[in-house]
Amino acid sequence: MCDKIDRFVSKTEWHPAFVEAFQIELAEYQDVLTFEPEHLLIAGPLKIDILVVKKNKEIKIKKNIAQIFRKYNIIEYKSPDDYISIADYDKAQVYSRLYAVNHGVRTNKMSVSIVSSRKPLKLLKYLKSEMGFTVTSEQQGIYLIKGDTSPTQIIISRELPEKVNLWLNHLNQTLTVAKLKRVLTATSKLSKDTPIRTYINVITEKNITTFQELMNMGQKVDAVLKEFGFVDKWRAEGRAEGRAEGRTEGRTEGETKGKAEMIIRILSHRLSSPSKTLQKKICSIRNINKLDELADFALTCVSLDEFMTALK
């Protein structure tokens, strides 16, 4: 078990992180909006990335990314590794029409937003030259499409103003140390119940070299990790695995394995995946108190080399 590195690194999922980022961007309107991630259009695989519903149609949304909002708003997202194709644009429009038909909604009560890190030059050219639509950009990073059935916008997250759209702008795998520090600092100012865990997991995993460099520079982000429950989450996972092991190998053996895996998980999240040799060395420890000390040290050490020194 302990020699499988991949088990301790969370699977990166851009879409859940995008949902959290989008919600935080519109946090000041959380009382008048409802968010439904992966809204099912029909019984089947078709899902809208986010359906945003205005509870009160009289409320005017001033946030730049939501000024076109109507009563019902379709949000589609393309990860930083992907781009918006003509087919993707058509699919988003089809989603809005399907929703309108299935729920008895008029299309003029709907809006469509497609979010991507990369500017779709081919698509924008196609919409203007072949579809005859008007494409305007009155706000940085936001391209309004006029001429389609529902009000539509294409949002390029990398182009959004950082001061206005920190969360969407920074949802990528090319963050600098300064940008990553800015996100973690902003995170520390959010309330503890803010849905941000997936977002932080994704940007730290996708920017692991930058994250490690930030730690090596002495920039402390442990408080953020602890405040938002990342440490508790890793420990809970370790305890759960320990209990599972304990059922077949005895309580003490299960607890030590659980604690060892918790340490490996923390190191993987904060620094980088420990080598198989280091994992085996951690898993060979049978002293629970020693493992507890190492778990605390794993939260503050600045490198795997420093952690290995503590094992000697």
**How large is the greatest C-alpha to C-alpha distance in the chain, in angstroms?**
71
Question: How would you class 10 by CB atoms within 10 Å of its CB: exposed for 0-12, middle for 13-18, buried for 19 or more?
Answer: middle
Report yes or no on 48 lying in a domain.
yes
Domain boundary among 172, 192, 219: 172
Q: What is the per-residue pLDDT for 229?
A: 57
Q: Return the residue matching tokens 């058509």.
A: 90
Report yes or no on 52 lying in a domain.
yes
Bridge partners of 203, per DSSP, are none
Question: Residue 110 belongs to what H/E stretch?
Answer: strand 110-116
The sign of the CA dihedral 220, 225, 226, 227 is: positive
- Same domain? For 108 and 214 the reply is no
Is the separation of the CB atoms in 260 and 234 below 8 Å? Answer: no
For residue range 241-261, what is the model confidence (pLDDT) as tens digits? 544 544 444 445 667 777 788
Res 133 pLDDT > 60? yes
More confident residue, 274 or 233: 274
- Same domain? For 70 and 163 the reply is yes
Any residues with CB less than 8 A from the CB of 177 and at least 6 apart, and which?
210, 213, 214, 217, 219
Report yes or no on 230 lying in a domain.
yes
Helix ranges (H only) for the chain are 14-25, 86-103, 121-129, 166-169, 177-188, 197-206, 208-216, 222-227, 230-249, 251-270, 276-283, 288-298, 304-311
CB atoms within 10 A of CB 92: 22
Q: What is the CA radius of gyration of the chain?
A: 23
Any residues with CB less than 8 A from the CB of 224 and at least 6 apart, and which?
184, 187, 188, 200
Is the separation of the CB atoms in 52 and 75 below 8 Å? Answer: yes
Report yes or no on 280 lying in a domain.
yes
Domain boundary among 172, 193, 219: 172
Q: Across residues 212-240, what is the average pLDDT?
A: 60
Is the separation of the CB atoms in 117 and 172 below 8 Å? Answer: yes
- Same domain? For 130 and 221 the reply is no
Report yes or no on 184 lying in a domain.
no
- Same domain? For 219 and 303 the reply is yes
| Tally of domains within the chain | 2
> Lowest mean pLDDT: which of 53-62, 197-206, 287-296?
287-296
Q: Return the residue matching tokens 């209990």.
A: 243
For residue range 69-120, what is the model confidence (pLDDT) as tens digits? 999 999 999 999 899 999 999 999 999 999 999 899 998 899 999 999 999 9
**Most confident region among 58-72, 198-212, 253-267, 292-306 by mean pLDDT:** 58-72
Is the separation of the CB atoms in 89 and 125 below 8 Å? Answer: no
- Same domain? For 218 and 164 the reply is no
Q: Across residues 165-177, what is the average pLDDT?
A: 95
Report yes or no on 253 lying in a domain.
yes
- Same domain? For 40 and 154 the reply is yes
- Same domain? For 210 and 287 the reply is yes
Q: How big, in percent rounded to 5, are the helix, strand and coil portions of the chain?
A: 50, 15, 35
Is the separation of the CB atoms in 178 and 201 below 8 Å? Answer: no
| pLDDT cut 70: percent of the chain above it | 82
Report yes or no on 177 lying in a domain.
no
For residue range 272-302, what is the model confidence (pLDDT) as tens digits? 788 888 888 888 888 878 887 887 788 777 7
Report yes or no on 15 lying in a domain.
no
Q: What is the distance of C-alpha 99 from the center of its chain? A: 26
Q: What is the per-residue pLDDT for 14?
A: 87
- Same domain? For 43 and 165 the reply is yes
Range of the domain at 209: 5-9+205-311
Q: Across residues 59-65, what is the average pLDDT?
A: 93
Q: What is the per-residue pLDDT for 11?
A: 42
pTM of the predicted model as reported, rounded to 2 decimal places? 0.68
Which pLDDT band, with edges at 50, 70 and 90, does 212 fall under? confident
- Same domain? For 114 and 231 the reply is no
